[in-house]
Amino acid sequence: MQHDEPHISGGGSAPEAPRERRARLRALRRLWRAETVYLTALSVFAVLAVLARFNAYFGWDLRTTRAVQSIDAPAFAALMRFVSFWGTGATPFIITTVAALAFLAYRRRSEAAGVIMSAGVGQLVNRLIKVLIARPRPASDLVNVYETLSTESFPSGHVAFYVGFFGFLFFVAYALLPRRSWRRRAALTMTALPVALVGLSRVYLGAHWPSDTLGAYLLNGLWLAFCLMLYRRWKGRPATPQPAEA
């Protein structure tokens, strides 16, 4: 008497293999694209830094600055000064400390460490590059200079801090706050706007050339990406958006 034996398919593991391979290939393609973007940005910054080392300013720096400063509106001038305020003097140290302490109060140690590394250490990296390049600030006989500064010009310290500080907070808000909530939308707006406007404000106030701000966006964008990679590893999981509020 024959007995029909059921066919053993390996518990369904075989159909999973193609999906796993496709997932690995997608992950490798994303990694390759990320590395390409990273290396491209680093190369552009390196070329710009070398040129800035031997050029006090570029022709397009002068034309762009004069075009921006031609905006004659008191409200615009007040906005530019307000935007720059948060990167002036001891303010960056104060607000970074407050943010880190707030994270610690909510038992967010990885976020506290992340904001200190992104904003604080990022400023040290920026300062080192400033000393190495030693580019002079815009001169008052070329453009309007609202405040005379004695430190080096390339890359912009304000832009560096805003990218490191507000950029990190933007990522944390995106990752941790509930999707489609008003808190998330407000946090993303309040952290994105300073980053978008600070470069313009530094040019308008005559504190930096546009190439100074571009260099800072490139350099500290790369530093922010590095800090976010470490932050995700500290968390031990991908920092994906939370589900929407009920």
What per-residue confidence (pLDDT) applies to 27? 64
Question: pLDDT tens for residues 13-25?
Answer: 445 567 777 666 6
Phi and psi (nearest 5°) for 242?
A: -80, 160
3-state secondary structure of 181: coil
Q: Is the pLDDT of residue 34 over 50?
A: yes
- Shortest CA distance to 199 belongs to which of 160, 168, 240, 226? 160
**Whether 168 contacts 116, CB under 8 Å:** no
- pLDDT, tens only, 191-204: 999 999 999 999 99
pLDDT in tens, 144-201: 998 888 889 999 999 999 999 999 999 999 988 888 889 999 999 999 999 999 999 9
Indicate the pLDDT class of residue 246, thresholds 50, 70 and 90: very low
Please tell me the pTM assigned to this model: 0.82
